[in-house]
Structure 1
Amino acid sequence: MDNFLLIFLSLLISINVSAQLNQVNYDEKEVPEYKLPELLISKSGRKIKNTKRWEKIRRPEILKLFEQEIYGKVPQTISISEVNVHEETTDIFDGLATRTQVELVFRKDDQELGVNVLLYLPKDTAKVPVFVGYNFKGNHAINDDPDILLTDSWVPDNPSLGIVHNQVTEQSRGVSNERWPIEEILKSGYGIVTAYYGDVDPDRDNFQDGIHPFTYRLGQFRPGNDEWGAVSAWAWGLSRIMDYLETVPTIDASKVVVFGHSRLGKTALWAAAKDQRFAMCISNNSGCLGAALSRRQFGETIGKITSTFPHWFCENLNKYSAREELLPVDQHMLLGLIAPRPLYVTSATADLWADPKGEFLSASEAGKVYALYEKEGLPVAEMPEPNSPVMGTIGYHIRKGKHNITAYDWKQFIRFAEKHFAPVIAIE
């Protein structure tokens, strides 16, 4: 009878969790009451009142919790083995810019992985600041330039865009150009650096390709419970691109802005939290386990992510599916890890899946860490109206429209960078 009761209770819990996973809340009245974990109180109960305590005590504690419970730690150090320059062209966009295509090669035993990086830099300008971030379909997709190399990595099928059997074709060239206003960025005096995120780790629940197998022990076929999921692997890749950028004499490595949209916005935030060489971070529509507070359970939730994209995060995250209140951290703490560097968070009015209010509240809470550095966090207490950006050391806007990255977003990114970096000479 006892065994029957245990089985029955277990079944009830399973049914209840399953029902919660199938529900999506878009009603503020249905947001549960929640209490956020303390940002400025250590595990031992010590109050964090200055930057010294933050950097020595609380920041490492929080970073470790995110590694163990959400993103997963990188098991080994893997460095660039070789840099192959595929092309250097000095006259792009009618003499406005240079274009460089390089391959970062990683080797271990009999394994080899190549990550193709595309750089556009303003011409005849020394030490330029740059935006660096991944693209979703290959470097060739961000512009219709026929000389950009087609990716040979695995890409999710989309026959309407010319992606068949997980391989791109010429038809897919330039299909994402609306998200990449390259000429406008260059004319503002900034460079743009991108790579296809699938070069580092294909976006599928596989773990047999990409960078993950480089760290496997004999007989291991997937990461351990607290080891890196795909987001952590992609963030690792951004840091390796940063390694390369530090060697480029025409780039100001002290002014590298890491950015990302959607799942790549989650990636940019984790990369900036882990790697303090990134001077600024921009998170565009990153939502759950990006900028938005998990405890609000609004739109996308941890349960939805772990059931739909189980490879994105470490196995330990499954413990918090439909149990967000048990998390030892929340996303305001991730944003706090980026302090005192400038941070810009964005939302969109029709992107309720990413929980715009949760993104704003998270950014607002993170300001407590910025205050330790005597930096202004968000300059407003209430969520601004659509298309009304606010910019302290933390900036935020909610744009009218859908889940996307647009020319409007890019204009604000450039404005925010101009606010915090020394003036960059715009190119006429």
Structure 2
Amino acid sequence: MMLKLRFLSLFFVLSTGLGWAQKALPNPLILANGKRVQNAKQWHKERRPELLRMFTSEMYGQAPPRPKEMQFEVFDVDKNALNGKATRKQIAVYFNGKADGPRMDLLMYIPNHLQRPAPAILGLNFWGNHAVHPDPAIRITTSWMESGKGNPYVKLSCVTDHRATEACRGVNAAQWPLDTIIARGYALITAYREDIASDDPKTGFQKGIHPIYPDYQGRTDNFGTIAAWAWALSRAMDYVVTDKAIDAKRVAVFGWSRLGKAALWAGATDERFAMVISNESGAGGAKLFHRGVGENIRRLCTVFPHWYAASFKKYMDRDTLLPFDQHQVISLVAPRPVYIASAVDDKGADPQGEFAAAKAAESVYLFLGKTGLPAQTIPPLNQSVQGQIGYHIREGGHDVTLYDWKQYLNFADKHFN
């Protein structure tokens, strides 16, 4: 009986006004020993590290520290890019310090009209740096690329033998409104996901950074592709702090879909990111598993077995019984601002579950003296609500639109002054 009572003490009740009431969620403010967090110091020194250890061992996996041998090479600088509106930089990040080792190319556009270091938005892209803008000077990736078949964002004809061609330039520009971002006074920093880790389940961990860390493989807490992408975002931040053109204290980490999962974990694990923006990240990102709605753990671990640690597989078919959930990952961002966004037709991502997770993380923000999410129920379509936690649900499906970006830039304005 005492064990049962202690187990129940680890949970609290959440009602979202979405027809999903009286659902129990693990309380982020209750320590593993059953005691409640008493103050901000205890949150930062005890509970936050405790949650990080749990999610690392049970879900995302243990990633390596910053490589001592890592080197940066700035191989392109154009101070008159975008018709003089921006400075373009391209930086090769040699993860093991070797030119023939795994390499990530960073693409940066920095607004020229600012008289001070620029705040920045940093995120990974799906189809290569060359795809975010038709600028002919962007180096085309040589990394593996999906064929694009059935994907509305990439023209099938531009990918040959799983390699990008000149025809791929700018094919994904609609999701990266560079002119708008630059005009609003923000730098954009991006890198291609496949430079870092393979998203092909047939490849496993044979490409990218995983082969240089053989000791991490074969473990139940091996770091998967989501954690590898998050790790690379931190490696990009390692460069950013050295670049005087960027205000390293005002960098938001951004991601959409599976890359939104990575952005959220990067923001949780690396407090140098001043803001986190997770766009339609769904299961394993911002949505709650406990609702039992949308994409589930079984699908994540079978269709995408490379995404998470091997230890996560034991939770298949136990979504509603998890001893943890994604609102606790969001709470790891606190007290820094975080924005969660959904789309009404993106059923797999479970918009109600994304909102509910954001709302459930609010308790930590309030505990730390910040505002939370200023809405008790999911807001109407195309209406952004913004406190220290921001949220919107827009019309349409799984995508990143100009509407989304405008809300993120408004949120950044609000918190970056």
Alignment of 1:201-212 (within 5 A): 201-205=197-201, 206-212=204-210
Identity of aligned residues (%): 43
Residues 1:109 and 1:173: Cα distance change in structure 2 (over 3 Å) = closer
Given candidates 116, 126, 144, the residue that maps to 2:105 is: 116
Q: Where do residues 88-237 of structure 1 align in structure 2 (5 Å cutoff)?
A: 88-107=77-96, 112-125=101-114, 126-158=116-148, 160-205=156-201, 206-217=204-215, 222-237=217-232
Give 1:113 shift: 1.1
Match of residue 283, structure 2, among 279, 288, 291: 288
Q: Write the mapping of 1:61-80 to structure 2, written as runs, cut at 5 A.
A: 61-79=50-68
Give the unaligned 5+ runs of structure 1: 1-27, 423-428
Q: How many Å apart are 1:80 and its aligned residue?
A: 5.5
1:2-401 paired onto structure 2 within 5 Å: 34-79=23-68, 81-107=70-96, 112-125=101-114, 126-158=116-148, 160-205=156-201, 206-217=204-215, 222-401=217-396
Contact persistence 1:136–1:197 (CA under 8 A): yes
Q: 8 Å contact 1:79–1:240 — kept in the other structure?
A: no
Task: Specify the code of the residue in structure 2 equivalent to 1:145.
Answer: D
Task: Normalising by structure 1, report the TM-score.
Answer: 0.88
Give the Cα–Cα distance (whole angstroms) in 1 for the partners of residues 206 and 81 of structure 2.
38
Per-residue deviation, 1:194: 0.2
CA contact (8 A) 1:80 1:240 kept: no
Q: Once the 2 structures are TM-superposed, how far is the Cα of residue 224 of structure 1 from its aligned partner?
A: 1.6
Q: State the Cα distance separating 1:326 from its structure 2 match.
A: 4.0
Find the aligned partners of 1:389 and 1:85 in 2 and give their Cα distance.
38
The separation in 2 between residues aligned to 1:278 and 1:48, in whole angstroms, is 24
| Gap change, CA 1:107 and 1:75, over 3 Å in 2 | closer
1:303 aligned counterpart, secondary structure: helix
| 1:292 Cα deviation after fit | 0.2
Partner of 1:16: none
User: 1:364-411 CA distances to partner (integer Å, 9 max, x unpaired)?
Assistant: 010100011211110111110010100000000001001000000000
1:147 corresponds to which letter in structure 2? A
Q: For residues 138-183 of structure 1, what are the alpha-carbon distances to aligned partners after superposition, in whole Å with 9 as ceiling and x for unaligned?
A: 0000011111111000111226241122111112111100001101
Letter in 2 for 1:149: R
Q: How large is the RMSD of aligned CA atoms in angstroms? A: 1.8
- C-alpha distance 129-400 of structure 1, shift in aligned 2 (>3 A): same
Name the amino acid aligned to 2:80.
Answer: D
Q: Report SS of the residue matched to 1:296.
A: coil
Maintained 8 Å contact 1:80/1:104: no
**Greater displacement, 127-136 / 39-48:** 39-48
Q: Distance in 2 between matches of 1:417 and 1:108?
A: 34
Aligned residues of 1:65 and 1:328 also touching (Cα < 8 A): no
Letter in 2 for 1:348: A
- TM-superposed deviation, 1:77: 4.2
Q: Distance between the aligned counterparts of 1:161 and 1:356, measured in 2?
A: 33
Cα deviations by residue, 1:319-375 (Å, 9 ceiling, x for unpaired) = 011112442210010000000000000000100110000000000010100011211
Structure with larger Rg: 1
Any idea what SS the aligned residue of 1:120 has?
strand
**What SS does the aligned partner of 1:259 have?**
strand
What are structure 2's unaligned runs of at least 5 residues? 1-17, 150-155
Distance 1:80 1:131, change over 3 A: farther
> Matches of 1:293 and 1:99 in 2, distance apart?
39
List per-residue Cα deviations over 1:255-292 (Å, max 9, x = no partner).
00000000000000000000000000000000001000
Say which is worse superposed, 352-361 or 158-167, in terms of deviation.
158-167
